[in-house]
Amino acid sequence: MVDVDSEWALKGVSPTQAKAALRRARGELGRQGWKVTSYEESKFRNELSVRPPGTDDTVTVEAYPGDRLMVRAYAECGRCPSGTPMGAYGDPELPSQQAPLQLRR
């Protein structure tokens, strides 16, 4: 069993774009059965935390001042398929992350 977490950010996301993205994500993920565990929208903080159906995994999206949108994902435990490359500390070696093509400039 392993704990898996990942974090990445997008630069150049204005506060207006970030708020709209959080609202869309909250609505769409809710329609797909994800549980919204927290949602905060204010002039100081914009954050959405959701949990996929039937798990304790968490995905959090937070808009930061300075035009940055941060995404964090956490899974309390998981099983790696046999043959998964492992690092020196027994953690799976995950592939490099890359934003979707539409977001790359």
Higher confidence at residue 20 or residue 4? 20
Residue 66, by phi and psi: left (phi above 0), alpha (psi -120 to 50) or beta? left
Pairing label, strands 35-41, 68-78 = unpaired
pLDDT digits (tens, 9 = 90+) for 57-83: 888 888 877 777 888 888 776 677 888
CA angle, residues 58, 9, 37, in degrees to nearest 5: 25
Q: For residue 46, which phi and psi values (nearest 5 degrees)?
A: -135, 110
Q: Could you identify the residue written with the tokens 């990942």?
A: 6
